[in-house]
Amino acid sequence: MKPLTALELLAPAGNAEIGMAALDHGADAVYIGAPRFSARSAAGNAVADIERLIRYAHLFYAKVYVALNTILTDAEIPEALALIHQVFQIGADGLILQDPGLLELDLPPIPLIASTQMHNSTPEKVKFLEDVGFNRVILARELSLSEISDIRRRTRVELEAFVHGALCVSYSGQCYMSQAVARRSGNRGVCAQPCRSRYDLVDGAGKTIQRDKYLLSLKDLNLLHAIPALVEAGVTSFKIEGRLKDIDYVKNITACYRNAIDQFLAHHTDYRRGSSGTVSFSFSPDPDRTFNRGYSSYFVHGANEKIASMDTPKSTGKCVGAISELGKDYFRIKGDDIHNGDGLCFFSSNRALTGFRINHVTEGRIFPSSMQGLSIGTMLHRNHDHAFARVLKKPSALRRIGLAMHFIQEKTGIRLEVRDEDGNEAVIRLDIPFEEARDPSRVRDQIQAQLSRIGDTPYQITGMTIDPKQPGFLPMSTINRLRRDALTALSGIRREHYPRRILPFVPNTVPYPEKNLDYHANVLNEHARRFYARHGSRIHEPAFETLADPLGKIVMTTRYCIRRQLDACLREHRSHPSLREPLSLKDAQHRFRLHFDCDRCRMRIVLEEKGNP
């Protein structure tokens, strides 16, 4: 019989506590930053904390992947290698890498995961990564379903795809704008996020087309609706972005995708969950009720929607309705219930995002901290849901592993056999003489009740048998001891039997798809240079971070197109008045020229002028 295909819900862990909350809310795996060298330098974690998270995850047969996905200098290589050996020793299930120079080292046999920072956007690149020894590839966010399907047809490596969260406007690993303008490299984990800044769009005649807009800031990704299509395309790991997000966000969004994947599994018996246990929630998950900039499906269905959030890079939350009545110090709306402490926001007449707090609500009258700018018809959004946040601050989910119990009483003693949903078994025996009971049925009920008191253990009883049907008398303390010992033994056996994958890395000479590589290859150390040489490529330009002068260089390559966003696509809106080329983005200190590759539907941003940082 063909084994079932596991579908993995992968959630972010900014720290161990958030990671454990993600597991409680249904994640099959979490990813967490190493102490150093992760693409979110502000989300590094001590090895001891990662080990604590691993121990918790493995009880549920869930995985923990450690991100060490920046490019490295030669001086950093020894420390990075030592960290890799440490995270392997504590039981990590995979290592997320960007720098191929690490593959020139003596790595432990840990599964290797190619970070999306490696620019994994073509079948040729993904096939190379598979052939060179990566166990999994994290796909570029920009791919459509048909492009993912093409990669799946031409490879066998595990495919992981982002399904939710903030979007980088540039292809990951190919963005150099932060380094160019602030000397903070995104490929080194310290991106200054210039894509979330204001710019003017200026045409070739010097005319300002858009003024002071967030022209590179994208909405957030939301692919809740696309889980079945992504599975069909070949994705088996569904990744939520957000190692810098708070615990409330991670709880809510993880629960949303747990429900979506479980709904798919309920109707597709050839797939299974990627870990053990079932989850129940004390709230109704809703992606609109936590941080979001508005949602987009990005390019998964092709380039057929507006994906930028040009008026603000901040969270707008959920639309709650328009003001229907305005008083001196209150208003009413027709829409969702508003609560004391909520944060609401709206766009002013000049499209500036303005926010205020709700002081109190009385009989439908809503009293805000400020009435400035409000009028009848103003559309309001709730970007802080106070009641929802209060629910999420408390324990909001239970995850339990299914367990069957078989209690047996014999002449010379008793034993309890427990078997979990993964087939692990534990047996505890106690030598206690058989004593006749005055009321065997009452004793049976007492045994069943005591065995069922599993408390805060990670188990739930799915079946129980008691033999004989009329058991003899037993002290309740004895039954409790039997249960505790059996569950403790089972937890130890589960960890002992955890199916950890050990995959030794063996270097080879598979040819790289490109022969001549410039700074886009992100080569910052001699090990990376040797890696590409061994695979038949020549580095004729080192990493962007080493360049003395970035002027004239492409600092961002995007599938997002400002022309398309403004309904001025040269391919689809030929009747639209043309924007005079060349188009440029300007801020107070920089000018960036825009180059449009309409044949491939790509936009490139070139640094043209640069002031003092």
pLDDT tens-digit profile of 125-166?
A: 999 999 999 999 999 999 999 999 999 999 999 999 999 999
Is the pLDDT at 523 greater than 70, yes or no?
yes
Is the pLDDT at 95 greater than 70, yes or no?
yes
Could you write out the three-class secondary structure of 460-479? EEEEEEEECCCCCCCCHHHH
Is the pLDDT at 576 greater than 70, yes or no?
no
Question: Percentage of residues in the chain with pLDDT exceeding 70?
Answer: 99
Residue 109 in tokens = 């046999």
pLDDT of residue 304: 85
* Mean pLDDT for the stretch of residues 81-99: 98
CA distances from 62 to 24, 160, 374, 488, 495 (A): 11, 16, 49, 19, 11
In the predicted model, what is the mean pLDDT of the chain? 95
pLDDT of residue 573: 66
pLDDT of residue 337: 86
Is the pLDDT at 18 greater than 80, yes or no?
yes
| Kind plus residue range of the DSSP H or E element containing 326 | strand 318-326
Residues with Cβ within 8 Å of residue 533, at least 6 apart in sequence: 539
Segment 333-347, tens digit of pLDDT: 987 689 999 999 999
* Mean pLDDT for the stretch of residues 417-421: 98
Confidence of residue 41 (pLDDT cuts 50, 70, 90): confident
pLDDT of residue 483: 96
Q: pLDDT higher for 40 or 63?
A: 63
Is the pLDDT at 611 greater than 80, yes or no?
no
**Distance, CA of 64 to CA of 56 (rounded, Å):** 10
Q: How far is CA 67 from the centre of its chain?
A: 12
The SS3 call for residue 431 is coil
Segment 348-393, tens digit of pLDDT: 988 999 999 999 999 999 999 999 999 999 999 999 999 999 999 9
Confidence of residue 572 (pLDDT cuts 50, 70, 90): confident
* Mean pLDDT for the stretch of residues 530-539: 98
The SS3 call for residue 196 is helix
Amino acid identity at 215: L
**Distance, CA of 239 to CA of 253 (rounded, Å):** 11
Peptide bond preceding 468 in cis form (omega within 30 of 0): yes
Alpha helices, DSSP H only, in 276-409? 386-393
Q: pLDDT higher for 559 or 444?
A: 559
**Distance, CA of 463 to CA of 48 (rounded, Å):** 37
* Mean pLDDT for the stretch of residues 165-177: 97
Segment 492-511, tens digit of pLDDT: 999 999 999 999 999 999 99
Bridge-based pairing state of the strands 199-202 and 208-213: antiparallel
Segment 185-213, tens digit of pLDDT: 999 999 999 999 999 999 999 999 999 99
Buried residues in 388-425 as b, exposed as e (16+ CB within 10 A) = bbebbeeebbbbbbbbebbbbbeeeebbbbbbbbbebe
End-to-end CA distance of the chain: 63
- pTM for this one? 0.96
Phi-psi map region of 293: left, alpha, beta (phi>0 left; psi -120 to 50 alpha) = alpha
